[in-house]
Structure 1
Amino acid sequence: MAPATQPLLRAALLLLLLLLATSHQATGAVVATELRCQCLKTVSRIDFQDIQSLKVTPPGPHCTKTEVIATLKNGQEVCLDPEAPLVRRIIQKILNNAKSS
């Protein structure tokens, strides 16, 4: 292999590894596992019955946006749009249930 093609091959392999590491997808939402914003794409609609747990991460040094990550009953993680009305209702319902418990 020519010496000039080795850096290109190395870059292609690193890109492939990065894509594999960040490909936890469910309905088009990508969740990365680095100390940056975890939600690369979000969805604005999801069936409340499919959610097993919900994690809300406020803005901070790792990311300037609020992130809402739902773990579904099938184990997939989905990034939800925190500004979507349906997502806001889901969060409010969970908060209300936690208060009444």
Structure 2
Amino acid sequence: MKMSIRMSASSVIVLLALLTITEGMSLGNLGSDSRCRCIQTEGRRIGKLIEKVGIFPPSSHCKDTEIIATLKGSSKEICLDISAPWIKKFIEKMLANKKP
């Protein structure tokens, strides 16, 4: 009887340890990612589909400026090609509208 209680207690401790480790691993990526977010970029004209845009300047984790757009309806995020002419105009217009 004592052996089964010890086995059960040991199993619970191991399970809790595993849950703690996996939770810690998943939370570790929230604050800082050690690489660029954008692997592929979109250059096609999709301005009317964009709900919001995030601009991420170069940092110690990524040497590139990254522009990530959230699409209307689906909330899907895509990376935009900052060298595409329409994106440059889109960003300029967006920044001009934010000025007081």
Structure-2 residue corresponding to 1:23: none
CA distance in 2, matches of 1:75, 1:88: 22
Which of the two has greater strand per residue?
1
Matched, 1:49 2:27: no
Structure-2 residue corresponding to 1:96: 96
TM-score, structure 2 as length reference:
0.62
CA distance in 2, matches of 1:60, 1:87: 21
SS of the equivalent of 1:52 reads: strand
SS of the equivalent of 2:99 reads: helix
CA distance in 2, matches of 1:37, 1:97: 28
Aligned-residue offset at 1:34: 3.4
Which 4+ residue blocks in structure 1 deviate beyond 3 angstroms?
none
Amino acid at match of 2:75: G
Amino acid at match of 1:97: N
Structure-2 residue corresponding to 1:79: 79
Aligned-residue offset at 1:45: 1.9
CA distance in 2, matches of 1:87, 1:54: 11
Unmatched 5+ residue regions in structure 2?
1-31
Q: Which is further off, 40-49 or 57-66?
A: 40-49
Unmatched 5+ residue regions in structure 1?
1-32
SS of the equivalent of 2:64 reads: coil
TM-score, structure 1 as length reference:
0.61
% identical equivalent positions: 41
Which of the two has greater helix per residue?
2
SS of the equivalent of 1:97 reads: helix
Amino acid at match of 1:64: K
What RMSD in Å do the two structures reach over aligned CA positions? Answer: 1.6
